[in-house]
Amino acid sequence: MIKLFLTLLLSFSTYLIGEQRTIVHEGMEREYILHVPKKLNQDTPIVFVIHGYTGSAEGMVAYSGMNSIADREGFIAVYPQGTIDSNGNTFFNVGYQFHDDSTINDVSFIRELLRSLSQEFKLNRKKAFATGMSNGGDMSYLLACTSSDLFKAVAPVAGVLMKGLKDSCNMTSPVPLFEIHGTADKISLYEGDLNNEEGWGAYYDLPSTIDFFAKKNLLVNKLVEQITNKELGADYDIFFERHWTDGLDQEVWMYRIEGGRHVWPGIKFNWWSNPLLWFYFGSGNDDINASEEVWAFFKKYL
C-alpha cells in the first residue's frame, strides 16, 4: 500500500511539475524540466520558459503556471536549468559584468536542446518560442538576436537588453517581441543602466529597447492605449504599446505597468513582513496573467 501511494504521489508530482531530464552539452550534464501535452503532432509548438538569476526550473514551473496552459492549448513547455556561477548562484550567461570569465554557452545549450527535442518528438523546429523572467527575459533577448533561425517570437518579462548584445544583434529574420515591465522595477531598471551603476553591466532603457526591436522588425506604426485603470479598481495602470506595419505579420508589444515591481504578473506575494523584499518585488500584480498574455502573443505566430 505504501509503495503504491509513493508511486501515485511521484506520478502526480511528475504530472504537475513535468519530467526532470538531463542532456550532455559541451561535456557538461545540463538539467531541464519537460512538460508534454497529451496530443502531439509535427506542428506542436514548443515554448522555452526560462528562470531568473538565483532561480530554478522548478520555481519557474510553479509560479508561471505555464503547464496548465500547455495542457489546454497543446504545446510543449520546456524549463531549462541554469548553471552555478562563481558566487554560487544559478544563472544564464547573457553578458553580466560579473560573468565576464564564464565560458558557459547557454545559447548553444538551448539550441541543442531544441534540436534534440524536435528530433525526439518529430517537431517542426521553426515553431519554437522563448519567454523568461528577469535573467530569463534577458536570455530571451539574447535568443532573438542570435537564433532568429529557430525562434518564431520571444516574450521577456522584466528583462533588459544588454548594451553588448544590442551592438552585435544579428536577426536574420523577423522575431516578434513582447515585453512586460514595471516602471518601478528595482532590479531590471525600466530607465536602464548604461553607466553600469548597479554592477550588472550596461543595458538599455525599455523605451529604447522596444524601439530598437520595432526597427529591426521593420515596423513603422505605433499605438499606445491604457488597458487597466487604478481608478476603476485595478492594482496598477497598465499601458499597451503596439508596433506594427500594414502587410507584415510581425509585431512588437510592450505592457508598461506604472509602478510595477520586479515580478511575473499573475501572482501575488505577501512580502509585507519583509520590507527589503517588498522594496524589490512589491506585492505582485494580478491585473494581468503574464503566462496567458505571453501565450496569446505567441499564438499569433503559429
In tens, the pLDDT along 249-263 reads 999 999 999 999 999
The strand pair at 19-25 and 28-35 is best described as antiparallel
Q: List CB contacts of 50: < 8 A, sequence separation 6 or more.
A: 60, 79, 80, 92, 130, 131, 132, 133, 135, 136, 137, 139, 140
Q: What is the mean pLDDT of residues 49-53?
A: 98
| pLDDT at residue 285, rounded to an integer | 74
What residues make up the domain containing 221?
2-299
| pLDDT at residue 6, rounded to an integer | 34
* pLDDT above 70 for 51: yes
Q: Give pLDDT tens digits for 175-192.
A: 999 999 999 999 999 999
Stronger pLDDT, 17 or 7, i.e. the higher one: 17
Q: What is the mean pLDDT of residues 87-108?
A: 97
CA distance 269 to 138: 23
Q: Percent of the chain, pLDDT > 90?
A: 86
Stronger pLDDT, 124 or 16, i.e. the higher one: 124
91 backbone dihedrals φ, ψ, rounded to 5°: -160, 165
* pLDDT above 70 for 194: yes
* pLDDT above 50 for 53: yes
Q: What is the mean pLDDT of residues 196-224?
A: 98
The top-scoring range by mean pLDDT among 6-20, 138-152, 260-274, 284-298 is 138-152
* Contact assessment for residue 157 and residue 133, using Cβ atoms and an 8 Å cutoff: yes
Q: What is the mean pLDDT of residues 218-244?
A: 97
| Number of independent structural domains in the chain | 1
| pLDDT at residue 4, rounded to an integer | 36
Q: Give pLDDT tens digits for 164-176.
A: 999 999 999 999 9
Of the candidates 117, 137, 134, which has an alpha carbon nearest to the alpha carbon of residue 53?
134
Give the single-character DSSP code of 71.
Answer: H
- Kind and range of the H or E run holding 240: strand 238-244
| pLDDT at residue 11, rounded to an integer | 39
| pLDDT at residue 283, rounded to an integer | 55
* pLDDT above 80 for 282: no
CATH code: domain of residue 264? 3.40.50.1820
Q: What is the mean pLDDT of residues 184-213?
A: 98
- Kind and range of the H or E run holding 24: strand 19-25
CA distance 291 to 68: 10
* Assigned C-alpha cell, 163: 548594451
* pLDDT above 70 for 106: yes
